[in-house]
C-alpha cells in the first residue's frame, strides 16, 4: 500500500526507513516539482538544503536529479544550513522556492521535508494541499532524468550573517562586554550566531560544535532538560546569557545568567516589550492562540493591535510579509520580527535576547518581573496526554461541545481559531488541540498565579478523562 504523504504545520516528517524512504522522498519531491511548474513553467530555480541529519547529502543529490529532470534548476547548498538562512536566500536570490530536508526538533530517527514558497515563507495549507494532490496524481510515473537543468552551487551563510548584522544592534552588544554561551545541539546553526558574536569582539563559548547525526542520542530540542551542558559551560565561564537552537535553527532556547531556563512564552513577550522600547515599532503583534496572554496585555498597554492566529508559523509569516507586526511568536519557541524573514528564526531570537540584556543590563528574570509589575503576572503551561482509541473518539466529540463551565469556573468566551480554547471570567484559560499525527491531546493552560495554574491544570486534565 502506498504511503500517504501529508504536510503538517511545518512540512512532512516521518521515521527514516519506515515511511521516510527514498521511494517516498522521490514521490514528495516529484509532487513539489510538478506544483512549481504550475506557477513557473519555464526557468524555475529551487533551492535545496538540509540540516545535519543522516544521509542529508544523498537526499540533496537525489532531489537535484528530480528537479533537473523537470527542467527546474536546483540551487544546491553543500553544507547544513539553518531554515531561516534558506528562507532569507529565497528572498535575496529571487528563487522560486526551497526544499529543505529537515525534521527540525524531532528525534534523530526522523527526517522530513519543508517547502518554502517564493516569498521565503512556509507553504500555506492551500499550497501543501496542491502538492499532496500532485503526489497522488504522479504516483507510478517517473520522468526520465534528462538533466535538462544543470545544478548550481549556492553559499548562504555570509549573506545571512550580513543581514543579521543589519537587523541586530551589534554596537550595543559590543559595548556591553557580555560573555555568551551557545549550544547549536549539533544542528544547522553551528558557526552562525557564535561566529557573528566573535567577529564583533564578544567572548563566546560553544558546546556541541560538531556533527552528530544522532544529536547526542536525543531530540535536538532546545528545552530545559536538554541544556545541561550549556548550563555547565555558563557556570564555568561566568557567562551572563546562554542561547540555543534546535536541529534546523528555527527554534530557540534561552538560559538566564543563573542558568535558569526562560520559557519561550516569556522570551517572546520580553522581546515584544523591548522592540517597542528600543525600535519604537508599534505596528502590531501576533501570537498563536496557544501562546501567553502576557503578550495580549502588553498590546493593550501600548495600544498596539493584537493578531491571534492558528498554530503554525506560516500564519504569522503572512503578517510579517504584510508588515503588520513588530514581532510574532509561538509558545513552541518560534519567532520572527518586522523586516526579517517570514519564517521562524531561532538564531535572531538568541541574538536579540543578547542585545536586550546588553542594553538593559539586567538579568532576564528581573526584566520579567518588571513586565509583571507593568501589566500583571501570567503563568502558562503546556502538557501532552496520550489517549486510547476509545478515549480519543470520545474526547474528539467532546471538543465539538459548547461548555458553559469547567471545574466550577464560568466560561466567558469560547474560541475556535485552532482546537477549543475556553477563556474564563478571571482571565485564565485552557486550550485543547488534538495532534494530527498521534493519539495525543495537547493542553495549554494559563493562570494569573502559580497556585491557580496547578489547580487549572488538574481541572483541564479531569475534563479530558471524565
- Distances in Å between the alpha carbon of 437 and those of 122, 161, 417, 440, 446? 19, 35, 19, 8, 25
Phi, psi for residue 76 in degrees, rounded to 5: -95, 130
- Segment (H or E) for 308: strand 306-309
Phi, psi for residue 278 in degrees, rounded to 5: -85, -35
3.40.50.1980, 3.40.120.10, 3.30.1490.20, 3.20.20.60: which CATH number matches 12-155?
A: 3.40.120.10
Percent of the chain with pLDDT over 70: 98
- Distances in Å between the alpha carbon of 96 and those of 7, 87, 344, 364, 439? 19, 11, 19, 40, 36
Q: Tell which residue, 315, 273, 316, 311, has the closest CA to residue 294.
A: 273
**Over the Cα atoms of the chain, what is R_g?**
22
Q: Tell which residue, 383, 375, 361, 386, has the closest CA to residue 438.
A: 386
Q: Do domains 12-155 and 159-275+340-375 have the same CATH topology?
A: yes
| CA gap 252, 460 in Å, rounded | 28
| CA gap 372, 105 in Å, rounded | 31
pLDDT on residue 265: 98
Q: Tell which residue, 136, 93, 99, has the closest CA to residue 114.
A: 99
Q: Tell which residue, 300, 20, 277, 250, has the closest CA to residue 285.
A: 300
| CA gap 66, 367 in Å, rounded | 51
| CA gap 193, 346 in Å, rounded | 10
Domain segments of the chain as ranges: 12-155, 159-275+340-375, 379-465
| CA gap 433, 132 in Å, rounded | 23
Q: Tell which residue, 371, 425, 348, has the closest CA to residue 85.
A: 348
- Tally of CB atoms within 10 A around 180: 27
* Close Cβ partners of 23 (under 8 Å, ≥ 6 residues apart): none
Q: Tell which residue, 431, 422, 406, 247, has the closest CA to residue 331.
A: 431
Q: Which residues pair with 244 in a beta bridge?
A: 183, 253
Show the low-confidence residues of the chain (pLDDT under 70): 1, 140-147, 437
- Tally of CB atoms within 10 A around 144: 6
> For residue range 350-403, what is the model confidence (pLDDT) as tens digits?
999 999 999 999 999 999 999 999 999 999 999 999 999 999 999 999 999 889
Phi, psi for residue 441 in degrees, rounded to 5: -105, 130
Domain formed by 379-465, architecture: 2-Layer Sandwich (3.30)
- Distances in Å between the alpha carbon of 71 and those of 34, 64, 146, 389? 10, 11, 8, 46
pLDDT on residue 10: 77
Got the DSSP string for 40-76?
Answer: -SSS-EEEEEE-S-TTHHHHHHHHHHHHHHTTPEEEE
Domain formed by 159-275+340-375, architecture: 3-Layer(aba) Sandwich (3.40)
What is the residue whose three cell numbers read 516529484? 30
Contact between 433 and 441 under an 8 Å Cβ cutoff? The reply is: yes
Q: In what order do the strands lie in the sheet with 405-406?
A: 379-386, 440-447, 429-434, 420-424, 409-415, 405-406
> For residue range 219-274, what is the model confidence (pLDDT) as tens digits?
999 999 999 999 999 999 999 999 999 999 999 999 999 999 999 999 999 999 99
| CA gap 83, 123 in Å, rounded | 13
CA 268 to chain centre: 12
- Segment (H or E) for 154: strand 152-154
| CA gap 364, 40 in Å, rounded | 47
Amino acid at each position: 500500500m502506498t504511503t500517504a504523504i501529508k504536510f503538517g504545520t511545518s512540512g512532512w516528517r516521518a521515521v527514516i526507513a519506515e515511511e521516510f524512504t527514498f521511494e517516498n522522498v522521490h514521490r514528495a519531491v516529484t509532487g513539489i516539482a510538478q506544483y512549481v511548474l504550475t506557477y513557473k513553467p519555464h526557468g524555475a530555480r529551487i533551492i535545496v538544503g538540509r540540516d545535519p541529519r543522516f544521509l542529508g547529502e544523498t537526499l540533496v543529490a537525489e532531489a537535484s536529479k528530480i528537479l533537473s529532470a523537470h527542467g527546474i534548476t536546483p540551487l544546491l547548498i553543500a553544507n547544513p544550513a539553518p531554515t531561516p538562512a534558506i528562507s532569507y536566500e529565497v528572498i535575496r536570490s529571487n528563487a522560486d522556492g526551497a526544499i529543505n530536508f529537515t525534521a527540525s526538533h524531532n528525534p534523530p530517527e526522523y527526517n522530513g521535508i519543508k517547502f518554502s514558497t517564493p516569498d521565503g515563507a512556509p507553504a500555506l495549507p492551500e499550497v501543501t494541499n496542491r502538492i499532496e494532490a500532485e503526489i497522488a496524481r504522479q504516483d507510478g510515473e517517473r520522468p526520465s532524468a534528462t538533466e535538462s537543468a544543470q545544478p548550481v552551487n549556492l553559499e548562504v551563510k555570509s549573506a545571512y550573517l550580513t543581514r543579521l548584522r543589519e537587523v541586530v544592534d551589534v554596537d550595543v552588544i559590543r559595548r556591553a562586554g557580555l560573555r555568551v554561551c551557545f549550544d547549536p545541539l549539533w544542528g544547522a546553526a553551528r558557526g552562525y550566531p557564535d561566529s557573528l558574536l566573535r567577529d564583533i569582539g564578544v567572548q563566546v563559548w560553544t558546546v556541541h560544535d560538531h556533527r552528530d547525526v544522532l544529536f547526542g542520542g536525543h531530540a535536538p530540542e532546545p528545552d530545559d532538560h536538554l541544556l545541561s551542558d550549556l548550563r555547565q559551560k555558563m557556570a564555568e565561564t561566568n557567562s551572563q546569557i546562554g542561547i540555543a537552537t534546535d536541529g534546523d535553527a528555527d527554534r530557540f532556547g534561552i538560559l538566564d545568567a543563573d542558568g535558569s531556563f526562560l520559557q519561550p512564552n516569556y522570551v517572546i513577550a520580553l522581546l515584544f516589550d523591548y522592540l517597542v522600547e528600543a525600535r519604537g515599532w508599534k505596528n502590531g503583534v501576533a501570537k498563536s492562540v496557544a501562546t501567553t496572554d502576557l503578550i495580549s496585555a502588553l498590546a493593550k498597554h501600548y495600544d498596539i493591535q493584537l493578531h491571534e492566529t492558528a498554530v503554525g508559523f506560516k500564519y504569522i509569516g503572512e503578517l510579517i510579509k504584510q508588515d503588520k507586526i513588530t514581532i510574532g511568536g509561538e509558545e513552541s519557541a518560534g519567532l520572527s520580527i518586522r523586516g526579517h524573514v517570514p519564517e521562524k528564526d531561532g538564531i535572531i531570537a538568541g541574538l536579540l535576547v543578547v542585545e536586550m540584556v546588553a542594553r538593559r543590563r539586567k538579568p532576564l528574570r528581573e526584566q520579567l518581573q518588571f513586565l509583571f509589575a507593568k501589566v500583571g503576572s501570567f503563568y502558562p503551561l503546556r502538557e501532552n496526554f496520550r489517549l486510547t482509541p476509545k478515549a480519543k473518539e470520545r474526547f474528539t466529540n467532546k471538543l465539538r461541545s459548547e461548555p458553559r463551565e469547567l471545574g466550577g469556573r464560568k466560561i466567558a468566551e469560547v474560541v475556535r481559531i485552532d482546537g477549543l480554547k475556553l477563556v474564563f471570567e478571571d482571565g485564565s484559560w485552557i486550550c485543547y488541540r488534538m495532534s494530527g499525527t498521534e493519539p495525543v491531546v495537547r493542553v495549554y493552560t494559563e493562570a494569573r498565579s502559580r497556585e491557580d495554574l496547578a489547580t487549572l491544570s488538574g481541572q483541564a486534565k479531569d475534563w479530558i478523562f471524565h
